[in-house]
Amino acid sequence: MVEKSIWDISAASAKRPPLQGDIETDTVIIGGGMAGILTAHFLEQAGMKCVVLEADRIGSGQTRNTTAKVTSQHGMIYDRLLQSEGAEKAGLYAAANQEAVERYRILAKKYQGDIGWSQCPAYLYTTEDTGAIRREHEAVKRLGLPMQLTEKTELPFQVKLALKMEGQGQFHPLRFLYMLAEELTIFEHTKVTHVEENAAVTAQGTVRAQKVVFACHYPFLNSPGYYFMRMHQERSYVLAVKKAASLDGMYYGIDEDGLSFRSAGEYLLLGGGGHRTGKNTTGTSYEYLSSRAEAYWPGCKEMARWSAQDCMTLDGIPYIGQYSKSSPDWYVATGFGKWGMTSSMVSAMILSDLICGRQSQYAEVFTPRRFHLQSSVGTLIKEGGYAVSGLIRQAASIPKEKLEDLRPGHGGIVEHDGNKFGVYREETGKIYAISTRCPHLGCQLAWNPDEKSWDCPCHGSRFDYRGKRLDGPAQNDLECHIRREN
């Protein structure tokens, strides 16, 4: 079994050189994930020159670890949107995502090749109370979305009720991304350290442009925009098994412990075990998925496991549009809430319209400059609470664990000479100690036993046990002290 996504092990892209020196272009795009590459593609199609700057390899962020369901059925969103935003905006949200599905279909046809595109239905299902699905059905009926209630699915257990939406899609996200990227100007291993008005600055050179797009998953600048006050991150886990059923549809369980399912060639993907990043104390996410897979398809074989995280906004709608009032030439695409395939396409549609000076009928729904009291204030207060408790924990909490009690293969927070350290004891006896203070804004990091990483509950930065940065918004590694025990 590999600890990588099935996309990662079945696709490769040509290496791109790092930036060397200073250059100029029309638009510089920071981040070569699905949002950045699609936006660059749309801009190039419109005749604009673009440069994509990617800190690592293209597709190496969350995009390589997605489950790549292309659907406008985003969980139970429409009932909520109708109540908080009204029928017009909820309808525009639906239309933008339906157009996104359609644009994937057109691109898949145009760029024929092995991108595994197939049209299929999407389902929401429950094995418990049917009230929420019935309410969602009423909402989508009002918005004219083609979804029907059904009790029949291909799942190996009885559902109480499901909501089926025809005409959605699934594909191989990395092969698609690599193919689109072939015609673009991209610099890999080129991390943007800061942005000065119309210049993206890296250690190897600067790209000057009329427009700057932040498509780097979580914007790494704290101001302007203050995205850290408006987003947290949530992780989920995926298992790919063989010798299980082959499903035609894509399934999303709406119950608290509900799982998602889709087939991908010979694999069946199970996703779930989600939690706020930095809040995985028990470390049984993969075991849970394994036990479900074995219960549903006895004898199935685990082939791969992986995980990813995504940004969650205050009101559940992505932030796509002008970065902030004080930076008219900057744009952002973030906060996809685990629905980043269509949201990346919606980003490309809106941002290419705005940058090319065209009207976008969807821009107002997704504008990052919105603030809706009703749908946002509760989450804003909760987020503030998380940040305060993360800071207090770092400043004042006393570690309960002792270094000598830490078993090989485990991590924990311990005190040593009056200082607090996050410590991991390797099976070989080596001890790795890092500061538990998150370099982003100082919250206390927490041990993630499933992935042997230090994760921040405030905004979702992550580091491996050696202190290497895995996920932003933090931009730097942690200092790590290594000691060998006899």
Ligand X SMILES: Cc1cc2nc3c(=O)[nH]c(=O)nc-3n(C[C@H](O)[C@H](O)[C@H](O)COP(=O)(O)OP(=O)(O)OC[C@H]3O[C@@H](n4cnc5c(N)ncnc54)[C@H](O)[C@@H]3O)c2cc1C
Cβ-based neighbours of 195, under 8 Å, separated by 6 or more = 30, 201, 212, 221, 330
**Cβ atoms of residues 213 and 39 within 8 Å:** yes
- Under the binding rule (CB under 6 A), the answer on residue 444 touching ligand FES is no
Distance CA 84, CA 150 (A): 27
**Cβ atoms of residues 365 and 347 within 8 Å:** no
The residue whose two tokens read 């993206």 is: 200
**Burial (CB count <10 Å: 0-12, 13-18, 19+), residue 131:** exposed
Tokens, residue 341: 């395939």
Among residues 19, 50, 161, 238, the one that binds ligand X under rule CB under 6 A: 238
- Under the binding rule (CB under 6 A), the answer on residue 40 touching ligand X is no
User: Residue 134 Cβ, how far from ligand X at the closest point, in Å?
Assistant: 24
Distance CA 358, CA 361 (A): 10
Among residues 6, 40, 53, 445, the one that binds ligand X under rule CB under 6 A: 53
- Under the binding rule (CB under 6 A), the answer on residue 201 touching ligand FES is no
Cβ nearer to ligand FES, comparing 133 with 456: 456
Cβ count within 10 A of residue 465: 22
Among residues 211, 235, 420, 440, the one that binds ligand FES under rule CB under 6 A: 440
Residues 316-355 that bind ligand X (CB under 6 A): 336, 338-342, 344
User: Residue 142 Cβ, how far from ligand X at the closest point, in Å?
Assistant: 23
Q: What does 56 bind: ligand X, ligand FES, none (CB cut-off 5 to 8 Å by kind)?
A: ligand X
Instruction: Using alpha carbons, select from 298, 174, 285 the residue that is nearest to residue 241.
Output: 298
Cβ nearer to ligand FES, comparing 106 with 396: 396
Of 106-114, 202-210, 358-366, 456-464, the segment contacting ligand FES by CB under 6 A is 456-464
User: Residue 205 Cβ, how far from ligand FES at the closest point, in Å?
Assistant: 28
Distance CA 59, CA 32 (A): 6
- Under the binding rule (CB under 6 A), the answer on residue 472 touching ligand X is yes
**Cβ atoms of residues 121 and 168 within 8 Å:** yes
Cβ nearer to ligand FES, comparing 43 with 446: 446
- Under the binding rule (CB under 6 A), the answer on residue 19 touching ligand FES is no
- Under the binding rule (CB under 6 A), the answer on residue 438 touching ligand FES is yes
**Cβ atoms of residues 189 and 307 within 8 Å:** no
- Under the binding rule (CB under 6 A), the answer on residue 235 touching ligand FES is no
CA 262 to chain centre: 18
- Under the binding rule (CB under 6 A), the answer on residue 456 touching ligand FES is yes
Omega within 30 of 0 (cis) for the link into 473: yes
Distance CA 157, CA 136 (A): 22
Distance CA 437, CA 420 (A): 9
User: Residue 416 Cβ, how far from ligand X at the closest point, in Å?
Assistant: 33
Distance CA 58, CA 186 (A): 8
Q: What does 456 bind: ligand FES, ligand X, none (CB cut-off 5 to 8 Å by kind)?
A: ligand FES
- Under the binding rule (CB under 6 A), the answer on residue 443 touching ligand FES is yes
- Under the binding rule (CB under 6 A), the answer on residue 441 touching ligand FES is yes
Tokens, residue 139: 């909402």
Q: What does 249 bind: ligand X, ligand FES, none (CB cut-off 5 to 8 Å by kind)?
A: none
- Under the binding rule (CB under 6 A), the answer on residue 35 touching ligand X is yes
Binding site for ligand X (CB under 6 A): 30-36, 53-56, 60-63, 66-69, 191-192, 215-217, 220, 236, 238, 271, 308-310, 336, 338-342, 344, 472
